[in-house]
């Protein structure tokens, strides 16, 4: 509890709660849509957007950085989606070309910024440096996006489960895709200060990937992923303070460990259960009973 005596730790704890829940819940849609690769490529478009926005505004501030990251991600996602209409080009291929080119542009423009920009803080995050403005921004964008996802969860889940049924019900699949892309971008942008543009994908996809091995209901995955993401973020913050470690790196490391445990011990899809089932099958074929 002594950690909460410091104002920066108080802001960090509040940030960990909302960013963990926000990223985890939105990540459930990414996992259910099998769009983790797409989300990963989007996360790499955040930093060049920060640089370009700071160059245009003439200042380097959290507000400018977050707006630039958000607009650049939406721009690259929209362009790659449009290019994918070409029958010879898929979305991931076009996105890979665009995000690497845009990232290169950001690195070239870095030398022309009027003030110094901390490359490490934006690439890998620094949750202890989160300001009150960043905190309000995170809670604001999380409240809006999560509220909309809850409000329209039925057509979203139908579109993910069966696009054909969704079309027959008059649901616009393209609008759903664009809205989920915007929600993914919002989750990635809100976590820039907390976990950075490079590691944000882990917090976005990890909790839902773990729970997808245990739960069948999309609604349960949505809510439980949010709570698991928040729990991991809080635990990482506490342990990083105690052990004097980098919070973002510890966060994705914990997520990786939980994912490995899920792969091993899932009662239905785990490797151990699969191996045991195969052993029982072989023993039964050879005449051995329980």
Hey, what are 14's tokens?
């509040």
The 10s digit of each residue's pLDDT in 127-176 is 877 878 878 888 888 999 999 999 998 899 888 888 888 888 888 888 88
Higher pLDDT among residues 224 and 101, named by residue: 224
Q: Among all chains, which residue has been given the structure tokens 């370009």?
A: 52
Tell me: pLDDT of 290 over 60.
no
Going by C-alpha positions, the residue among 28, 36, 26 that lies closest to residue 189 is 26
Mean pLDDT value across residues 230-244: 91
CA 94 to chain centroid: 21
The 10s digit of each residue's pLDDT in 255-289 is 999 999 999 998 888 888 888 888 877 777 776 65
Q: What is the mean pLDDT of the chain?
A: 83
Are the C-beta atoms of 128 and 247 separated by less than 8 Å? yes
Higher pLDDT among residues 105 and 83, named by residue: 105
- Report the SS3 class of residue 35: coil
Going by C-alpha positions, the residue among 126, 110, 111, 263 that lies closest to residue 193 is 126
First to last CA, the chain: 52
Instruction: Return d(Cα 159, Cα 177) in angstroms, integer.
Output: 9
Instruction: For CA atoms 261, 267, 269, 275, give the dihedral sign.
Output: positive
Q: Which domains does the chain have, with CATH numbers?
A: 2-285 (1.10.3470.10)
Instruction: For CA atoms 54, 25, 184, 40, give the dihedral sign.
Output: positive
Based on the number of CB atoms within 10 Å of its own CB, is 277 exposed (0-12), middle (13-18) or buried (19 or more)? exposed
């Amino acid at each position: 509890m002594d950690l909460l005596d410091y104002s920066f730790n108080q802001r960090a704890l509040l940030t960990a709660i909302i960013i963990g829940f926000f990223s985890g819940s939105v990540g459930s849609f990414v996992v259910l849509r099998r769009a983790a690769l797409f989300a990963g490529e989007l996360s790499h478009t955040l930093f060049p957007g920060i640089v370009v926005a700071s160059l245009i505004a003439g200042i380097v501030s959290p507000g400018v950085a977050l707006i630039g990251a958000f607009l650049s991600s939406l721009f690259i996602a929209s362009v790659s989606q449009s290019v994918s209409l070409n029958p010879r080009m898929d979305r991931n291929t076009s996105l890979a070309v665009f995000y690497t080119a845009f990232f290169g542009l950001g690195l070239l423009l870095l030398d022309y910024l009027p003030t110094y920009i901390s490359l490490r803080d934006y690439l890998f995050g620094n949750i202890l440096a989160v300001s009150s403005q960043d905190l309000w921004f995170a809670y604001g964008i999380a409240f809006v996006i999560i509220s909309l996802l809850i409000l329209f969860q039925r057509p979203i889940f139908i579109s993910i489960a069966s696009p054909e049924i969704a079309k027959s019900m008059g649901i616009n699949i393209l609008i759903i895709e664009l809205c989920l892309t915007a929600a993914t971008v919002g989750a990635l942008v809100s976590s820039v200060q907390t976990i950075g543009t490079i590691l944000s994908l882990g917090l976005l996809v990890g909790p839902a990937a773990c729970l997808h091995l245990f739960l069948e209901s999309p609604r349960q995955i949505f809510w439980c992923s949010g709570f698991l993401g928040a729990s991991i973020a809080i635990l990482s913050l506490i342990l990083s303070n105690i052990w004097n470690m980098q919070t973002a790196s510890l966060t994705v490391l914990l997520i990786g460990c939980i994912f490995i445990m899920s792969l091993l011990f899932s009662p239905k899809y785990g490797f151990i259960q699969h191996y045991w089932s195969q052993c029982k099958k072989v023993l039964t074929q050879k005449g051995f009973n329980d």
